[in-house]
Amino acid sequence: MKYLTRTIWLLSLVSLFTDLASEMLYPIMPLYLQSIGFSVALIGLLEGVAEATAGLSKGYFGQWSDRLGRRLPFVQWGYGLSALSKPMLAVLAAPWWVFLARTTDRLGKGLRTGARDALLSEEASAGRHGAVFGFHRALDTLGAVLGPAVALLWLARRPGQYPTLFLLAFIPGLLAILATFLVREKLAPPSGKPIIPFWASFSYWRRAPAAYRQLAGALLLFALFNSSDTLLLLLARQQGLSDTAVIGVYIFYNLVYAAAAFPAGLLSDRIGPRRVLVVGLLLFAAVYAGATQAHAWPLFAALFGVYGLYAAATEGVSKAWLSQLCAPTDKGAALGTFAGLGSLAALVASLGTGLLWQTLGPHVAFGLSAAVAAAVALFLATTSFAASNE
C-alpha cells in the first residue's frame, strides 16, 4: 500500500490521538457540567456556540490556506488549540471559562479541518482518494473507541474525579501536536485570491463548480435532518437500555466504523463513490426507521453496528468525491466550506429533531430523518455529476 504515504500515516495518527483525547471527555462532559451548576439549557447554549464557532471558521481558514499555498501551519495550530483546551477545563469551573475552553477546542477544529483535508487530497495518488480518506477516518474513529474506554476505566476507579481526567486528556493531545512536526508538506500553488472577511466564510459556494454544488447541496440537505448521535443514544436509554449498555453500543458503533472505513474507501475507488454513498444513506434510513421499534439491547447493538457501516460509507467517501470536483488551488476552501456548512446543518438538525421529538414524539422525528436520507440516496443514484469519478 505505497499510496499510504508518510504524510497520510502521520495525519491519521494525529487524528487518532486527538480523537482519543476528545472522546475521553465526551461521555462525561454532561455529567461534569451539571455537577458545576450548568442547566440543560446552558449546556445546549454552550454546544451551540461551540459548533457555530467551528462551522463558521472551517471555510474561512480553508480558503486562507489556499491563498498561501500552505496547509501545515493551519494543521499545527489547529491541533494545538484543541489540545490546549483539555487542561483548561481543569483550571477553573466558572461558566465563562468553560465557554472559553470549549470554543478554543472548536476554533482549533475549524482552523485545521480544511487545510488537513486538502493536504490528504494532495497526497492521494490518482484513483486512491477514497482509500486515503477512508484510512484517515479509520484511525480517527479508532480514537473514538479508545477514548470512552479509557474514561470508563478511570471513572470506575476514581468516580467524580473529572479535573484529573481533563489533565490526562492532554497527554494524547500533546502527542498529536508533536506528530504534526514530523509532517513534511508539499507546497501547493497559491490561489492568488484575496482573503475574504470572516463573515463571508462560505463565499466559495458562489464560484464552486456546478457538480460540487449539486453533490454538496444534496449531502447538506441530508445533514439538516441528521441529528447528533446523542439523540440516538438518548433514544436507546429511553427504550430500556442501561447507562452501561448505552455506552457499550456507542463503543461498538465506533469499533465497526473504524474497522469498515478503510475498506469502504477502497471500495469507493473500485466501484465509484456514488454507489457506496447511496448504500450508506440507505443504511442510515434503515437504522433511524428501526430505532424507535427496538427495545432489547441485542437489537440496538445490531442497529448501532449497521450505523457504523453507514458512517464508514459516507464520511470519508463524501470528502474524497468532493475533493475531485474542485480546482487544485481551491481544495482547502471547498472542503472547509462543506465541513463548515455541515457543522451548522448538524446544529439545526439536532435542534429540529429535538423539537419534533418533544412535540410529536420520536417516531415522527426519526421517521422524517429516515425519509430524507432515502430521498437523498435516490437523488444521488439518479443524478449525473459532471467531471466526477463515479
Report residue 183 as a C-alpha cell: 509532517
Among candidates 232, 243, 236, 218, which has minimal Cα distance to 350?
232
Position 156 pLDDT exceeds 80 = no
What's residue 134's pLDDT?
Answer: 81
Q: Is 15 exposed, middle or buried (0-12, 13-18, 19+ CB in 10 A)?
A: buried
153 vs 107, residue with greater confidence: 107
Distances (CA, A) of 243 to 92, 151, 235, 236, 296: 28, 14, 12, 9, 14
Q: What is the mean pLDDT of residues 69-80?
A: 90
Go through the domains of the chain in sequence order and give each one's CATH number.
6-182+208-382 (1.20.1250.20)
Position 199 pLDDT exceeds 60 = no
Position 176 pLDDT exceeds 60 = yes
Q: What is the mean pLDDT of residues 288-307?
A: 88
Cβ–Cβ < 8 Å for 71, 114:
no
Phi and psi for 15 in degrees, rounded to 5? -65, -40
Position 390 pLDDT exceeds 60 = no
- Minimum mean pLDDT range among 191-195, 308-312, 345-349, 369-373: 191-195
- Minimum mean pLDDT range among 8-12, 276-280, 341-345: 341-345
Cβ–Cβ < 8 Å for 344, 186:
no
Q: What is the mean pLDDT of residues 308-314?
A: 93
Q: What is the mean pLDDT of residues 243-269?
A: 85
Report residue 239 as a C-alpha cell: 427504550
- Minimum mean pLDDT range among 39-48, 171-180, 239-248: 39-48
- pLDDT above 70 coverage of the chain, percent: 91
- pLDDT above 90 coverage of the chain, percent: 26
332-384: pLDDT as tens digits: 778 888 888 887 887 788 778 878 887 888 899 899 999 999 999 999 998 87
Number of helices and strands (H, E) in the chain? 16, 0
What's residue 215's pLDDT?
Answer: 93
SS3 173: helix
What's residue 27's pLDDT?
Answer: 66
What's residue 306's pLDDT?
Answer: 96
What's residue 45's pLDDT?
Answer: 67
Position 17 pLDDT exceeds 90 = yes
Please give the distance of CA 275 from its chain centroid, rounded to a whole number.
21
